[in-house]
Structure 1
Amino acid sequence: MFFSMNGSGRSRDGPVETTLYEILGVEPNATNEEIKKSYRQLAKEYHPDKNPNHGEKFKEISFAYEVLSNPERRELYDERGLDGIKSGSGGFSGAEDLLSSFFGGTGSFFFPGSGKRRKRGQDMVHFLHVSLEDLYKGKTSRLQLSRRVICSSCRGTGTKDGLSRECTGCKGAGIKTECQRLGVGLIRQMQVQCSECGGSGSRISEKDRCKQCKGDRTLRETKVLEVHIERGMHSRQKIFFRKEADEEARTFKIFLHSTRFSPGYETGDVVIVLEQDEHKVFQRQGDDLVMVKKISLCDALCGFKFVVKHLDGSSLLIESPQGEILEPDCIRGVRGQGMPIHGNPESRGTLFIKFEIEFPDVHFLEKKEDYELLRKILGGDEWPEHLPTGENVEEVSLMPFDEGRYERRGHGSGVREAYQDDDDDEYEGFPMGGGAQRVQCAQS
């Protein structure tokens, strides 16, 4: 089948971000084998023994592989991005050890440490739950958020006179260099946040603090954003509000979980990530909609009519004329009744309907004559007039097949021996007894 009926209720339209996939040079839907193959090629190319000038590149490649090769980490990264890995959300408690093992205290280009000041503030990411109806019809939502803004009274210095005082402990750098002994003759230098100024690079005495921000340099501001959800947007699609995040760049020290604010950097964006909730009737796959309809055997043979309530409240009359036979699990499509195509909402995808046929219960007819009449109508084969008799003829009955019970008896494991040929497949899944053998019929 060209689409999956897995009952998840929503389609997967790709990860929140693709940085780690780009590092390994693979697509977001790459298989584990493709990820492993790409990692091995890149690791050989950028290994420090072969390429000593690309040590950081090798760390980034190794880190990307450590995340994407682990199903739980990859799922967390797809859902929350690098921030999810960094914060250890979703039950991923080993984030600190993983990050520090690769980057120590200096950080990397996607996990900046205290030793590297970013020129741009961090984005604020919010996940907005929307219904499939919202994505079909479009909607405007109001989102209230709290952010930090530079104090207008002291212009972000935190002092009354607007002049900051350099921290004597770190000489205004906000960081200090410490040495850690790893063994005999082995010493590692680490950059850590200055404990005297908290990483700000300046210290303000109580009497010199700004009265409005109390020396914090920033104030809290509440703002309401109008989020316009356009018709045909997808789950996990992003909506950007430029420079609406905190007005200060935030620099993280991963293993200390510390944060400092530095006024004057470019403000980051507010990023709204759409999260589609599960729908009771429809599943979305790209620009198409998929639904399951259960019908009786009579409807499958004789035709039917039924009404589908669409996402905009309209009704679709679905008809299968008499004479058209629907087989179990068949799929039919209605063009132009899928999702609006984002950017071209007048065009729409296809509505696919998968038909599940419900067969009648056993002994659903009371009289033998009724079964004979039904057989005649359906054109069934007539029973032989003369059936074989004698001691070599045994009348047997069919029984239901219990697959679980059969597997517990040691069959159906799916393991094929070298001596088995393709003809044995016809017996796969059917009980033949512990000592059953295939017997070739005699040819007359």
Structure 2
Amino acid sequence: MGVDYYNVLEVGRSASDEEIKKSYRKLAIRWHPDKNPNEKAAAEAKFKEIAEAYDVISDPKKRTIYDQYGEKGLNASCDSQNGPSYGSSGSSTFCFNPRDAEDIFSDFFGSNPFGFENLNRSKSTSFQTDVAEHEILTIEVTPGWRKGTKVTFPEKGNEELNQIPADLVFIIDEKPHEVYKREGNDLVVHQKISLVDALAGTTINLVTLDGRNLVIDMTDVIKPNYEFVIENEGMPIAREPGKKGKLIIKFDVKFPSRLTPEQRAGIRSIFG
């Protein structure tokens, strides 16, 4: 089978997509050449091997082929696995998964500044056409980037004889967060509270995207659709370093489905 990609990524053959991605990120950061200046050549080789393994194991089609036929099967099926073409006229397609550079909100918040992609491109020469070149490209995620941001690597696309190589463009996407929703530079979180808390006050505890515990004492009466705004706790603003948007807490007051006669009487006595 040749190189054991599962062993390279330090995962089992039954590893889930999340386990594979988590291990890949850990290893890619550990072996990034910039983080190993005293062993740069060895780090570059290891980094390349990790990226190759992830490119295969993270792609369901390639992973199935690899599990059944090994590296030879991947090489034989490369033409059928090509993604869309990029760049100038005459460029042939890249033989790799043309994945978007996807990161969750926390990456755009600044806690995980690196994204990694690997690339096989075609280069035509006067002696032989379609010579494959492999290169590791590093994308440094800037805090505050938005969905649709383009990262361009000039002349890193396919190259035809006597032509300038095409550019390679990655389009950044965002994965939804389970707690926060992004609206421009602001972060929105929905908070459910009971009617008692809405009337008598309560404390809201939130974990920020950079891991801080945010404690908010609510003393105002909270009405349905009430919003509480905290300045400078939103997303970093990419073009204004050091500044952030707002954190907007939207409340959903849960009313009781029924009240006893005693409860009704008590409420009437309190509110007159």
Give the shorter-chain TM-score range: 0.5 to 0.7
How far apart are residue 353 of structure 1 and its match? Answer: 1.1
**Structure 1 consecutive aligned stretches of length 4 or more whose deviation exceeds 6 Å:** 122-125
3-state SS, counterpart of residue 231 of structure 2: strand
TM-score (norm 1): 0.39
Q: Is the 8 A contact 2:92 2:122 kept in 1?
A: no
Change (3 A) 1:123 1:229: farther
TM-superposition CA deviations, 1:321-363 (whole Å, max 9, x none): 1xx2111112121110000000323100001111000001213
- Within the candidate set 332, 339, 351, 2:235 is matched to 339
- Within the candidate set 376, 394, 406, 2:269 is matched to 376
Q: Is the 8 A contact 1:331 1:353 kept in 2?
A: yes
Matched, 1:236 2:157: no
d(CA) in 1 for partners of 2:248, 2:93: 39
d(CA) in 2 for partners of 1:331, 1:141: 35
Q: Is the 8 A contact 1:246 1:267 kept in 2?
A: yes
Superposition CA RMSD, Å: 2.3
| Equivalence map 1:369-408=2 (5 Å) | 369-379=262-272
3-state SS, counterpart of residue 197 of structure 2: helix
d(CA) in 1 for partners of 2:204, 2:119: 46
Which structure has the higher relative contact order (CA within 8 Å, separation 6+)? 1
AA at the equivalent of 2:194: S
- Unmatched tracts of structure 2, length 5 or more: 1-83
Aligned to 2:203: 305
3-state SS, counterpart of residue 316 of structure 1: strand
- Within the candidate set 238, 244, 248, 1:348 is matched to 244
TM-score (norm 2): 0.62
Q: Is the 8 A contact 1:121 1:266 kept in 2?
A: no
Q: Is the 8 A contact 1:126 1:271 kept in 2?
A: no
- Unmatched tracts of structure 1, length 5 or more: 1-88, 90-111, 151-155, 159-212, 249-262, 380-444
TM-superposition CA deviations, 1:116-148 (whole Å, max 9, x none): x95x85897651111111111152122111101
Q: Is the 8 A contact 1:140 1:227 kept in 2?
A: yes
**Aligned residues with identical type, % of pairs:** 27
Structure with the higher helix share, 1 or 2: 2
Q: Is the 8 A contact 1:148 1:247 kept in 2?
A: yes
- Within the candidate set 180, 202, 219, 1:282 is matched to 180
d(CA) in 2 for partners of 1:292, 1:122: 47
Aligned to 1:429: none
- Within the candidate set 125, 140, 146, 2:120 is matched to 146
How far apart are residue 149 of structure 1 and its match? Answer: 2.2
TM-superposition CA deviations, 1:218-269 (whole Å, max 9, x none): 3111111111111000111111111111122xxxxxxxxxxxxxx1111111
3-state SS, counterpart of residue 340 of structure 1: coil
Q: Is the 8 A contact 2:142 2:238 kept in 1?
A: yes
Q: Is the 8 A contact 1:232 1:345 kept in 2?
A: no
Q: Is the 8 A contact 2:101 2:115 kept in 1?
A: no
Q: Is the 8 A contact 2:157 2:166 kept in 1?
A: yes
AA at the equivalent of 1:129: E
